């Protein structure tokens, strides 16, 4: 499930199962705690994850923090990359709007089958323009299917439920992509929508809610949960599914404890942090069964839990793990990369690559050389612009040289990625390989513009 073999036409109809782990956490301006193994399920031997989707709210967004995070990676992104890159996960895309951050990581084998179509921020805060509330979205194609991923932070307080629902609708309306050949968001194969939605528990008093939580009697509280009530009355919201709330409300806690709010305000606990999903309606489906998916694209919920051991915030994080079963609509990468074999480490390495007939190359396409364990696409140790350095081509087979004179003797394994400027995505990867030892040349600075994503 986690490792991908190349598929030929005879196997392209085979159903694949990919595991996706979704995280939502209002971190209340806190720095990452030292150990996030439980949050990321790193010690769960029954999981073989393919994709991480991570949404944070209320990251530190003071002016100095934002300036620092613009120049460098923010602490949370760096932390997740440090933890996940040794496990072969690469940061595929990210989008930030003030305190909202959305990250996608995938096993590197999946990169040629992930195309980032757009990232978008929708502010709904003060006067409808301030980004402390709203949503951030990443829109992509995953093995040929349209997927939208939205991380949101909706208005607080029990009395503002109508405003919350209005903001939910506004974020949804603003997510459509302008290209003519891209369907409306409601026609996307999958929408993952999560975040600090701030829905509260109506009617019941503080004492009743806390006693119900203490006795793990959640059913009465479910009936008065504002999101559950809204789904009973709103046909569109009803199309978004959610797992059972079998965990205690995740807000509001005293920081650095597992005690619900003991301040003077004594806010009533609530399930503010939620993870929803929606599968595309099928044309033949009846109006009362809107969440039926195509037989070749099905989502199964494996877990929906909170992680009570983390106490750096007044919210507890919530995660869902899904199994996505699909028949790939794209069965082969657009580019096939082959380093010279055996790879003898002279100052240049010869790379052969072939293109599919429908691939439109660009003068700004480039091939990057990476060590296995890279954090993101800009982590190359060398690169080459394919048009500028092409040495031969015939019958769809192209060859270029890439400079490896700066690479020291190492037992590390390497990868080649082909990046398409037109598609803004990796469209081909090599298998891992080693560069044989040699007498290494002196370092020399690269004097041309380096590609950055």
Average pLDDT value for residue range 20-44: 96
Q: Beta partners for 273? A: 196
Mean pLDDT of the chain: 87
Buried b (16+ CB within 10 A) or exposed e, 370-402: bbebbbbbebbebbbbbeebeeeeeeeebbbbb
Residue 8 has pLDDT above 90, yes or no: no
The dihedrals phi and psi of 193, each to the nearest 5 degrees, come to -130, 125
Output the pLDDT for position 168.
93
Output the pLDDT for position 399.
92
> pLDDT (tens digit, 9 = 90+) per residue, 264-284?
888 999 999 999 999 987 654
> pLDDT (tens digit, 9 = 90+) per residue, 355-379?
998 899 999 999 999 999 999 999 9
Around Cβ 206, how many Cβ atoms within 10 Å? 14
| Element holding 38 (H helix, E strand) | helix 37-40
> pLDDT (tens digit, 9 = 90+) per residue, 306-350?
999 999 999 999 999 999 999 999 989 999 998 876 565 568 889
Distant-in-sequence, close-in-space partners of 380: CB < 8 Å, separation ≥ 6: 368, 369, 370, 374, 417
- What's the pLDDT band for 70 if we cut at 50, 70, 90? low
- What's the pLDDT band for 448 if we cut at 50, 70, 90? low
The structure's pTM equals 0.89
Q: What percent of the chain has pLDDT over 90?
A: 69
**Which segments of the chain belong to CATH 3.60.10.10?**
16-284+293-326
**Which segments of the chain belong to CATH 2.60.40.2840?**
335-434
Report CA 360 to chain centroid distance, whole Å. Answer: 27
Residue 301 has pLDDT above 90, yes or no: yes
- What's the pLDDT band for 105 if we cut at 50, 70, 90? very high
Output the pLDDT for position 128.
56
- CATH 2.160.10.10 correct for 335-434: no
Distance (Å, whole) CA 380 – CA 386: 15
Residue 131 has pLDDT above 60, yes or no: no
* Best-predicted range by mean pLDDT (47-61, 289-303, 335-349): 47-61
| Residue 242: closest CA among 204, 213, 214, 274 | 274
- CATH number assigned to the domain with residue range 16-284+293-326, chosen from the 4 options 3.60.10.10, 3.30.470.20, 3.20.20.10, 3.40.50.300: 3.60.10.10
């Amino acid at each position: 499930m986690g490792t991908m073999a190349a598929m030929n036409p005879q196997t392209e109809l085979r159903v694949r199962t990919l595991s996706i782990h979704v995280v939502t956490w209002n971190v209340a301006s806190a720095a990452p705690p030292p150990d996030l193994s439980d949050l990321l399920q790193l010690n769960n031997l029954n999981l073989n994850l393919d994709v991480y989707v991570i949404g944070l709210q209320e990251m530190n967004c003071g002016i100095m923090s934002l300036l620092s995070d613009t120049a460098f990676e923010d602490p949370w992104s760096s932390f997740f990359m440090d933890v996940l890159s040794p496990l072969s996960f690469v940061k595929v895309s990210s989008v930030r709007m003030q305190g909202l951050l959305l990250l996608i990581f995938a096993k590197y084998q999946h990169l040629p089958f992930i195309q980032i179509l757009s990232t978008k921020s929708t502010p709904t805060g003060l006067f409808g323009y301030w980004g402390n509330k709203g949503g951030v979205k990443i829109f992509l194609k995953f093995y040929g299917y349209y997927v939208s991923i939205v991380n949101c932070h909706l208005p607080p307080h029990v009395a503002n439920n109508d405003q919350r629902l209005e903001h939910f609708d506004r974020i949804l309306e603003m997510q459509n992509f302008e290209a003519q050949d891209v369907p409306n968001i409601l026609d996307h194969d999958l929408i993952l929508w999560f975040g600090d939605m701030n829905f509260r528990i109506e009617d019941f008093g503080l004492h009743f809610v806390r006693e119900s939580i203490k006795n793990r009697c959640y059913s009465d509280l479910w009936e008065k949960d504002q999101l559950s009530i809204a789904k009973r009355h709103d046909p569109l919201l009803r199309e978004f599914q959610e797992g059972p709330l079998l965990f205690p409300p995740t807000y509001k806690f005293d920081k650095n404890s597992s005690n619900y709010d003991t301040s003077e305000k004594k806010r009533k606990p609530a399930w503010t942090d939620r993870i929803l999903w929606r599968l595309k309606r099928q044309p033949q489906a009846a109006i009362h069964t809107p969440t039926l998916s195509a037989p070749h694209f099905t989502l199964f919920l494996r877990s929906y839990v909170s992680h009570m051991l983390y106490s750096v915030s007044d919210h507890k994080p919530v995660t869902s793990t899904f199994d996505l079963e699909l028949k790939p609509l794209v069965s082969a990468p657009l580019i096939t990369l082959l380093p010279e074999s055996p790879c003898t480490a002279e100052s240049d390495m010869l790379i052969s690559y072939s293109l599919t007939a429908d691939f439109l190359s660009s003068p700004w396409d480039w091939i990057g050389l990476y060590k296995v364990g890279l954090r993101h696409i800009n982590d190359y140790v060398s690169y080459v612009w394919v048009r500028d350095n092409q040495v031969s081509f015939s019958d769809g087979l192209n060859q270029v040289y890439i400079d490896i004179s700066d690479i020291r003797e190492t037992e590390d394994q390497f990868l080649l990625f082909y990046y398409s400027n037109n598609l803004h995505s990796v469209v081909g990867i090599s298998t891992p390989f080693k560069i044989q030892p040699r007498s290494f040349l002196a370092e020399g600075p690269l004097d041309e513009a380096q590609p950055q994503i």
